Amino acid sequence: DAGVIQSPRHEVTEMGQEVTLRCKPISGHNSLFWYRQTMMRGLELLIYFNNNVPIDDSGMPEDRFSAKMPNASFSTLKIQPSEPRDSAVYFCASSPTGAMTEAFFGQGTRLTVV
């Protein structure tokens, strides 16, 4: 298996623009997580899906952020409008169903908003 695939790997955008990050989870995995990593705040859980349904979005910073999972093999995280403070590395991770299982991480998308 190719693992969790994220695109793009790097994104530079201007403040106010819309940004869409993409994730393809490992086939057969039922849970999908979006995390944001910054020096100041560490690794924050933004949203968590189970069987394509958002279970917990309490970590989404504000209404500018939205996430979707239209099917089991694809998820997006959208920021509209983007702001410089959104600059971070965004990770997508997936796991099989069950609390005993670990999450498998993608390589991340490094977002820079100028």
Do β-strands 42-50 and 104-105 pair in parallel, antiparallel, or remain unpaired?
Answer: unpaired
CB of 48 to another protein, least distance (A): 5
Our CB check for another protein shows the closer of 45 and 81 to be: 45
CB of 51 to another protein, least distance (A): 11
Bridge partners, 67 (sequence order): 77
CB of 106 to another protein, least distance (A): 6
One-letter amino acid identity for 42?
Answer: G
Our CB check for another protein shows the closer of 10 and 85 to be: 10
